[in-house]
Amino acid sequence: MSSTPRGWKHALSRAPRVLGEALEGLLVTSARRSARTHGRRSALAQLGGLLLGGAVTTLPFDRAFGAPAPEDDETCTYWRYCALDGFLCTTAGGSKSTCPMGSEASQVSWVGTCHNPADKRDYLVSYYDCCGNTPFTGAKFCLGSKGERPPYTMGLNNDVNWCMANANKGYHCTVAIVVGTAG
Ligand code: ABN
């Protein structure tokens, strides 16, 4: 007895092809879905975003946008120096409130009113010159002139050597000491 073309032998011989086609269909559908959600462009964009994000957070970013930090007492923009006309003792062997070794504070001083951005208050700041010879050179010069008036109003001008009342009249640098709140 011969089997018909629709018999089990025929079905068996077709099985690998049918299975292969079904598998291919599944793969194609899955690949299309994947391409829709994770397309090449989308993947590249995500990768770029990751790389850029990493670079932005790790690069030395200037968050002050170029403005020197107001708390750096070796720069003229430090808040206490608003009316300091002279060399910074912080860059001449001293600190913002102490004269460098070998010099002494002036007998007289100039007082200014400066705004402290940290607590948003105004303070009276006394500027003493440090008088005498020290081994330190190359100090930073600042020209703070808040509240200053032209030299013909002598008492309101800070372009003065406050060492004039000291035995040693040689000017070295200026310190800025907070003496109280203003207002
Ligand atoms: N008070 C600082 C200073 C010293 C010498 C000359 C001018 C200003």
- pLDDT at position 134: 81
Ligand 1 binding residues, C-beta < 6 A: 85-86, 129, 159-162, 171, 174
Tell me the CA–centroid distance for residue 156 and ligand 1, in Å. 14
What is the pLDDT at residue 1?
A: 43
Instruction: Give the pLDDT confidence of 30-48 residue by residue, as tens digits.
Output: 656 655 555 555 555 555 5
Hey, is 61 helix, strand or coil? coil
Cα 131 to averaged position of ligand 1 atoms, centre (Å): 10
Query: Whole-angstrom Cα distance, residue 155 to residue 110?
Result: 9
Give yes or no: 162 in active site. Answer: no
Q: Whose CA is nearest to atom 2 of ligand 1?
A: 86
**From CA 85, how far away is CA 158, in angstroms rounded?**
6
Nearest CA to ligand 1 atom 5: 161
What is the third-level CATH fold of 79-181?
Answer: Electron Transport Ethylamine Dehydrogenase (2.60.30)
Decide if 8 is catalytic: no
pLDDT at 3: 42
Q: Which residues of the chain have pLDDT under 50?
A: 1-4, 55-57
Residue boundaries of the structural domains of the chain: 8-58, 79-181
The ligand 1 atom at the shortest distance from the C-alpha of residue 86 is: 2
Residue 34 pLDDT? 57
The per-residue pLDDT for 143 is 93
Distances (CA, A) of 75 to 55, 125, 146, 147, 151: 30, 17, 16, 20, 25
From 8, 72, 85, 110, active-site residue = 110
* Whole-number pLDDT of residue 7: 65
Q: Which of these, 74, 73, 77, 49, lies nearest to 64 by C-alpha position? A: 77
| 177 alpha carbon – ligand 1 mean position (Å) | 16
Q: Which of 88, 99, 129 for mutating ligand 1's site (highest number of atoms within 8 Å of CB)?
A: 129
Q: Residue 4: its pLDDT value, please?
A: 46
Nearest CA to ligand 1 atom 6: 161
